């Protein structure tokens, strides 16, 4: 196992922390797809995106944001 690669469990712990943060408070965040995606109700503000990005990058994850009626954040390993 690579030392830089996070396990599914480790990603889950990080994503649960992000879900519990102020940026997603009240937005009903859900984690799916082997702990790589957070979906939530509503749109995110610029500061929400900055907070989520900062938290994710601190743990070696790169977030990609999308919106199609629900916010979708896909997390990949930072290379």
The whole-number pLDDT of residue 4 equals 64
The whole-number pLDDT of residue 5 equals 85
* pLDDT (tens digit per residue) in 5-41: 899 999 999 999 999 999 999 999 999 999 999 999 9
Q: Which top CATH class is 8-77?
A: alpha beta
Contact 22, 61 (CB under 8 A): no
**Which residues touch 30 (CB under 8 Å, ≥6 apart)?**
38, 39, 40
């Amino acid at each position: 196992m690579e030392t830089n690669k996070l396990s599914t469990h480790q990603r889950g712990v990080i994503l649960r922390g992000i879900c519990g943060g102020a940026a997603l408070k009240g937005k009903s965040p859900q984690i799916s797809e082997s702990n790589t995606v957070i979906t939530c109700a509503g749109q995110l503000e610029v500061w929400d995106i900055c907070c989520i990005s900062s938290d994710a990058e601190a743990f070696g994850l790169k977030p990609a944001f999308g919106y199609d009626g629900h916010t979708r954040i896909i997390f990949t390993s930072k290379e």
